[in-house]
Structure 1
Amino acid sequence: MAQLGFEVTFWGVRGSLPVPGPLTTQYGGNTACVQVRIGERDFIIDAGSGLYHLGQALLKNNSGPIRGAFLISHIHWDHIQGFPFFGPAFADQNRFALYGQAKLGRTFADLFRGQMQPPYFPVLLEAMGAQLDFHDLSGGEVLDFDDGITVRTVLTNHPDGCLAYRIEQGGRSCCYLSDTEHCASVDPVLKAFIAGADLVIYDACYTDEEYKGEGLQPSRKGWGHSTWQEGVKLMQAAGAKTLVLFHHAVERTDADMQRIEEMAKAAYPDCLAAREGMTIRL
């Protein structure tokens, strides 16, 4: 299959809580949302607060119907809170497929619509005009799309469950591991999942020192997140290429993020910290 354009754009890079403000202007304060555009097809990974801005860009740049596929890692609020404000979902000429994990005996659609039900939100999901097609996942799927695009899934170590995604086309690949707590040694499943990938977006919420709770800070063990140091170990073991640090902790200022990015690059030169508005072309 011929190679198509393959662009990865970051619309939200933060974890847990949106923190836009004067101390986060360089790296960004919106929660998780990444657009992978292959040819004319959009894959939207997670629907955090950054999704609002992606929606506005799609409305501005498209005069006709808008199509796309959402790949939702999990339904913790920082990964879905932007969807009620996603402008293109309110127009009936638009159509979106939404993929996510079914669990607790409930479909993904039923779980996803929960944040848009009274008393939490005044507008029901059913009030959105676009056609929304929901698809249940459980981890381990291989999804084939037109133009030789393949999406693979695997479960990660995170409270309530979480999916990682690998998107491939024309011999290139992008992996998204937004929320995953590392094991005592490199996880063989994740190692195989990202093996040889061109780009890996990894949960680098903490440093090793924060994770272990050194000094006066609490231990973060069991909280479901990882460190940039563990991301480096996984990349080296898997023979993957570019590491993108993601899911920045809410307390990180731009100065903090710059220091972490510099330390990570010293350990693994093909590394950068995700910034809102950044586009990487594969």
Structure 2
Amino acid sequence: MIRDHAMAIRDVHLRYFQAGADVAITDTYQATIAGFQKAGISEEEGNHLIKAAVWAADEARQIFWEQLAATERDARLYPIIAGSVGPYGAYLADGSEYTGAYSLNRRDYQSFHFSRMNALKEADVDLFAFETMPNMDEVEALIDLLEKDFPEASAWVSFSLGDPEHLCDGTLLEKAAAWAGAHEAIAAVGVNCLPAQWASQAITSVRRGTDKPVIVYPNSGETYDPQTKSWHHPVAHVDYGQSSRQWFQLGASLLGGCCRTSPDEIRKIAEWACN
């Protein structure tokens, strides 16, 4: 996708900015050097593709900013680019980012993630997004890697949940939030790719664990089938305008949408959040 459709990725980012988004998450969630090499792509080209994903987001940001009138710029945050760092389970491509059913030692987790993080940093992302994290051992390894090898950088951590109060691997969300939030390099803590119906309870759990800013960006409520690589069984439609107000009132200050959501959901959030 990055190699063949960089302009399309740029245009998607642009539509999100135009809808009111203040943050673009790079198209690197599943992009890893190990994954590229498995597909016959060299390490050098893999690094270039990861950087190209950042450049696509940055180009969209520049186009968007130039489209704004001076008065509009004064009223907007200059958009941020977050480098997506998905879990090891996303590389496995078997749905285990929604189960946490995998295990590496700390050194192997760090070796796996370092090359992507290094490429993202070299391409000048504003921060890392450790997102859809189902496995606490992996989160601990990532934060250790961040602090040791990228000491000037920051990240948010958003967990993948098995239920509204637990990570997929069974770790209590409140405990995970407390541990992550205690690290200076972590700018925000929260949850993503969860059913929107879980968001309120999850926000409450995160806030019990940390006073860091809380981030929440649920999916559409559909279920992912790793065998067919498709989404099924949509739940009742969620009004992101109304629901996001509730999430904000509960203490979440960074709001958005994950899988199967669109710029329309961001627009509904921006309609009240930017007024």
Query: Which band: TM-score by shorter chain?
Result: 0.3 to 0.5
TM-score by length of 1: 0.36
RCO higher in 1 or 2 (8 Å CA, sep ≥ 6)?
Answer: 1
Please identify which structure carries the higher strand content: 1
Please identify which structure carries the higher helix content: 2
TM-score by length of 2: 0.37
